[in-house]
Amino acid sequence: MNKLYFKYGAMGSSKTAQALMCRYNYITKGFYVYLFKPKTDTRCVVDGKPMVSSRIGLKNECIEFDKNESFISLFKQYVNTLKSVFIIDECQFLTTQQVNQLKLVSQKIPVLCYGLLTNFKTQLFEGSKRLVEIADSLTEIKSVCKCGSKATVNARIVNGKIATTGEEVQIGADESYEGMCYNCFIKRLKEQN
């Protein structure tokens, strides 16, 4: 049975690496895999081609989408066999409508979404919220805080301090964000005030 999967974790939990490994596994079984990422994520382009790239060096060419893109149209454009799979990286940037579309696509083929659950303010992203509401399978990809506890917060770091205000979307990786447990997050916020 085809499903809509949401695999989420804090910054640094290897979400993208796992998405790329999943892609590889499907390909070895003879599936056509369509790897997507939002145009918002401008971090990796090689020879003018958009790439999904992990911190450990895995990368693959992908298809970019924007907030106005229809996944129903993308399905019709790309898929000509039901032995196909959609994998979406950075799925927190999906719109509610796009998640609804992916739910419909998942009735035909598997759809696997990888991304963050919450933003740097510890609030659900729009795409993540809708995925929690309608995905058939929710899986947490665990990561650890520097203290050894489970990381659940995506702290935005600006000039060495945790930021609590600003635009929801600021593309970055280890230079801008740190996955940490809630206790360390609160402790650092108190220390900097």
Residue 172: inside a domain? no
Containing domain of residue 124, as a range? 4-141
Mean pLDDT confidence for 49-61: 82
Mean pLDDT confidence for 48-68: 85
Least confident of 38-42, 101-105, 135-139: 38-42
d(C-alpha 174, C-alpha 10), whole Å: 12
Mean pLDDT confidence for 6-11: 95
163-172 pLDDT tens trace: 876 666 665 5
Mean pLDDT confidence for 3-17: 94
Answer with the residue of higher pLDDT: 2 or 100. Answer: 100
CATH number at residue 67: 3.40.50.300
Residue 52: inside a domain? yes
Q: Is 90 annotated in the active site? A: yes
Q: Give the model's confidence band at 43: pLDDT under 50 very low, under 70 low, under 90 confident, else very high.
A: low
Residue 74 token pair: 């993308």
Total domains in the fold of the chain: 1
Residue 176: inside a domain? no
Residue 168: inside a domain? no
Mean pLDDT confidence for 13-20: 93
- Which residue in 90, 140, 175, 178 is the catalytic one? 90
Residue 28: inside a domain? yes
Render the burial of 106-142: b for 16+ CB within 10 Å, e for the rest. beebbbbbbbbbbbbeeebbbbbebbeeebeeeeebe
Residue 169: inside a domain? no
Residue 125 token pair: 């992203």
Share of the chain above pLDDT 90, in %: 62
77-130 pLDDT tens trace: 999 888 999 999 999 999 999 999 999 999 999 999 999 999 888 999 999 999
